Amino acid sequence: MWSLETQTQLHSQAEALAPLSQPAPRNVVGNFFPSVKFPRIFTELIGTHMSNTSGADGSGAPVAKLLQWSRSGMITGSWGPYENFESLVFSAALQTQLQKLALGFLGAQDFCAKAKLPWRRGAFVFGPGGVGKSAASRAVALLLGWQHITIPAHEVLDTPQLTRALFECARHSPSVVVLDNIDQFLTRIDETDFFDIFDLVSERSDGIFWVVTSRKPELVPKNQLVRPGRFEEAVRLTPPSADVKKKYYENHLEPFMVAALGGQPETLGASKLEHIALLESNPDLSYAHLQEMRLLIAKVIMDGDPEKLVPEFQMFCQEQVIAGDRWGSPSSQSHELEDRVRLSDPRLLMSALHITDAFKKIVEATISNATDAIKGAQSASSNSGSSS
């Protein structure tokens, strides 16, 4: 079990990490872009908006909700401690791209009103599983101080449900609305119908930042998707680089390990270099894998067995190097057919079953006829042999 000194170290470390879970500072423009000179009216608009979206107690806590659309109604969630840009470990280029995209949209409200244009923006965010697509959209919502609404692909089975989902979400303005896994939407809804409905809603909605995500961008009609008035910006997310993984290790993994091992940084010694080398040895490790490592460290800490901390971490890293991306490893491929069947229109499945059944009967009849023909030939051959 943990000694009193170790428990004190863990408590101190938790207090040191607590600021990472606080909302972004209110001076977002100067904080994110100190070298960029924005017009005064723009910065005043941002400041006014941020003060209006802060908590009533003056703490700056977001009043916006985290929601998910479902066929039975909106589901309310809760914000996690690592949702804003201060606590997420993205590359500097990606973070700047997302922040400028969000703040530029926020500052264009008056312009859109004077130009008689809908105040809306769209982004197509794509990349393999676990690289932070959903996290990026939530960080944008917190930066804007807006509600975040997710429309999962499995909740929308046909065109009427898509129409209902989009209109209901548009009524929650201002908000960031995410259509999760757009390629799955388009397996059940005709492309022309999808874009006709989206255009109908988008052109009549103000204060909506639309986001579509995809793990398989090759299946998405990008010429129709990425264009003005729909999703103007294409944002590609990739697994974290070596520098980003090192930063994540130093910010979110090393402090817990040091605290668990007595509170002295030198206790890790050469293990830190080995850990970073293991992280760098697999370029496909995603942010989700790194989060799993945090959970692994928490598990070992809760078990009260600190001597297992370094070996468990090293074993996990080595296993991921062998297995690769957990979304594309062989173990997950066995569920791909189940997922496709579950997400398919039941009418298509019934048609497929009818076709399969008809094909089965044809094959059975063919085999039966062939068997009868063979038996007849054998019988004729034996009769001719006996008569001779």
DSSP for residue 155: G
Q: How confident is the model at residue 27 (pLDDT cuts 50, 70, 90)?
A: very low
Check residue 330 and give its pLDDT.
36
Q: Quick one: residue 213, left, alpha or beta (phi over 0 = left, psi -120 to 50 = alpha)? A: beta
Contact (CB, 8 A) for 346 and 329? no
**65: closest CA among 77, 54, 57?**
77
**102: closest CA among 148, 165, 164, 160?**
148
Q: For a pLDDT cut of 70, what percent of the chain falls above it?
A: 70
Round to whole Å and give the CA distance between 66 and 133. 16
Contact (CB, 8 A) for 105 and 121? yes
Is 70 exceeded by the pLDDT of residue 322? no
Q: For a pLDDT cut of 90, what percent of the chain falls above it?
A: 38
Check residue 184 and give its pLDDT.
93
Q: How confident is the model at residue 37 (pLDDT cuts 50, 70, 90)?
A: very low
Residue 95, C-beta contacts closer than 8 angstroms, at least 6 positions apart: 85, 88
Terminal CA-CA length for the chain: 96
Could you identify the residue written with the tokens 């995809």?
Answer: 214
| CATH code 3.40.50.1220 for 23-236 | no
Is 60 exceeded by the pLDDT of residue 42? no
Round to whole Å and give the CA distance between 368 and 372. 6
Q: Phi then psi for 94, rounded to 5 degrees? A: -65, -45
Contact (CB, 8 A) for 166 and 175? no
Contact (CB, 8 A) for 282 and 320? yes
Domain borders along the chain are 23-236, 242-323, 334-366
Check residue 82 and give its pLDDT.
83
Decide which of 34 and 352 is more confident: 352
Check residue 360 and give its pLDDT.
65
Residues in the chain: 388
Contact (CB, 8 A) for 177 and 209? yes
Contact (CB, 8 A) for 101 and 232? no
282 token code pair = 């697999």
Beta bridge partners of 209: 121, 176
- Between helices 309-323 and 287-303, what is the axis angle to 10°? 150
Q: What does pLDDT average to over the chain?
A: 76
Contact (CB, 8 A) for 143 and 28? yes
Q: Where are the alpha helices (DSSP H) in the chain?
A: 4-17, 28-32, 40-52, 92-106, 109-114, 133-144, 159-170, 182-188, 191-202, 222-225, 242-248, 254-260, 270-281, 287-303, 309-323, 330-333, 336-342, 346-387
Structure confidence by residue, pLDDT tens digits, 328-376:
443 333 344 444 444 444 555 555 555 666 666 666 777 777 777 777 7
Structure confidence by residue, pLDDT tens digits, 182-236:
999 999 999 999 999 999 999 999 999 999 999 999 899 989 999 999 999 999 9
Check residue 387 and give its pLDDT.
58
Check residue 14 and give its pLDDT.
47
Average pLDDT over residues 158-184: 95
Give the number of other CB atoms < 10 A from CB of residue 265.
12
Highest mean pLDDT among 1-5, 90-94, 295-299: 90-94
Cα 127 to the center of its chain, rounded Å: 9
Check residue 386 and give its pLDDT.
60
In the three-class reduction of DSSP (H, G, I as helix; E, B as strand; rest coil), residue 204 is classed as: coil
Is 70 exceeded by the pLDDT of residue 74? yes
Check residue 69 and give its pLDDT.
96
